[in-house]
Structure formats: C-alpha cells, structure tokens
Amino acid sequence: MDYLTQKKQHEIFLGGSCNPTTWRQDEAIPLLKNLGITFYNPQVSQWCQELIEQEHLAKENAFLLFYVIDSRTRNVVGIIEAASFAGSSRKLVMVVCPYNGPGHSINGESISDQEYVDLRKSLNLLKDLMEKQNIPIFETIPNAVTCAAKIIYERDMTQYVNKSDNIFSQKINNDLVPLFEDTFNTLDTHKSGTIKDIS
C-alpha cells in the first residue's frame, strides 16, 4: 500500500488493554490529536457485531500498531496479539505497565502469588520477543507516542529500535515463544486473525 493510499486509513491502531482502562481517551488520543495523527480507537461505549470487521480492517491497514499492556487487566489477548504482530514484522510500539506483585488488584480482585508469577513471566516473555524483533517498549504513554509520531513522520523504525525503558531484564527460554502462537490460535475460534480482549 503506497503512502497516499495509506493516508486515507488510520495511521495508528490503538490496541491492547480495554475496559476498565481509559488510557486511550485520557492520554493517547489527546496527544495524537495534538500531533495531527489519525487513529482508530476500538474501545467504544456500545459494542456491536458490525464493529468486528471495521476493527479488523483498521488493524490490518494501520501504518503502526500502538499497544498498551495496562496492569489493571490480565491482558491475555493483548499480549498474544502483540506477540503475533511482532512475529509478522508489523510496525509496533509497546507500552508495558508491570504488575505490582502478589495482591495486585484486577477488577477488584487480588491476584494470587501464583497468578502474579504467571503474569510476570508472560510480560518477560513478551519483552524478550519485542527485543528480538527490535520493537521499542516504554513504560509511559507520552514517551511511546513521541516515538510513534517520529516513526510515522519519518516512515522508518530503524533508529528507534531497542529504545526500551528496560522495565524487565529476565530472559525467557526461546522454546516458550511458540506458546503465544498456539494460545492465539486456540482463542481465535473463527480464524479471523483477531480475538476479543478478556479481563
């Protein structure tokens, strides 16, 4: 798709954590509007079946995918989607907010020690994959939006790779990487290439 055709599409797809998070409206969207960057926001007040195809097309046609993994949700689908896009060489910028520890609250429920360990491992694995694919990861949305804007305006990611905020350091065995693809395929029951986020 050439640049002129792409400009008719949304430049950024805002993926990742949805309800109860408000990062799109509170932070990302005001910043993107100020920069004159077009975006698609999949988080709506009233969801309907017709939005599935619209969201899929926006995700497929966006120049850059902007994914936020917010600690207020478990992010099962967001992590798998981000890993899938990284593996398919899509242009991607990540924001990852780590979980505070055992007892961290998600939707009013305190997570157990074991769930914290599992969630932490999944985020470490995700970061490991992003680093191998040279995808920049940030802890804050403003820093990530600044990076995304430069990539969009310059149409080049090479100078922004490995600009991680170094939020995690543990390396995960490469043998675990195929688990992302297997889990995604299991949840993608309609084989549409997308899955709806769950808390």
CATH code of 56's domain: 3.40.50
Task: Indicate the helix (H) or strand (E) that contains 144.
Answer: helix 141-154
17: in domain: yes
- Cβ count near 117 (within 10 Å): 13
Which parts of 13-112 fold into alpha helices (H)?
Answer: 23, 29-35, 51-61, 76-87
Task: Indicate the helix (H) or strand (E) that contains 183.
Answer: helix 178-187
Boundaries of domain holding 157 = 12-166
1: in domain: no
Q: What torsion do the CA atoms of 101, 104, 110, 116 make, to the nearest 10 degrees?
A: -40
Helix then strand then coil, in percent of the chain rounded to 5, is: 45, 10, 40
- What pLDDT score was predicted for residue 167? 41
The tally of domains found in the chain comes to: 1
At 39-61, the pLDDT tens digits run: 999 999 888 888 899 999 999 99
Q: 166 or 29: whose pLDDT is higher? A: 29
- What pLDDT score was predicted for residue 179? 54
pTM of the predicted model as reported, rounded to 2 decimal places: 0.75
- What pLDDT score was predicted for residue 189? 67
**Region of poorest pLDDT, from 21-25, 83-87, 171-175:** 171-175
186: in domain: no
145: in domain: yes
- Under DSSP, is residue 143 helix (H, G, I), strand (E, B) or coil? helix
4: in domain: no
199: in domain: no
One-letter amino acid identity for 116?
Y
187: in domain: no
**Closest to 47 (Cα-Cα) out of 57, 55, 59:** 55
- Cβ count near 192 (within 10 Å): 10
Confidence of residue 175 (pLDDT cuts 50, 70, 90): very low
At 118-164, the pLDDT tens digits run: 999 999 999 999 988 899 999 999 999 999 999 999 876 655 554 44
90: in domain: yes
Confidence of residue 72 (pLDDT cuts 50, 70, 90): very high
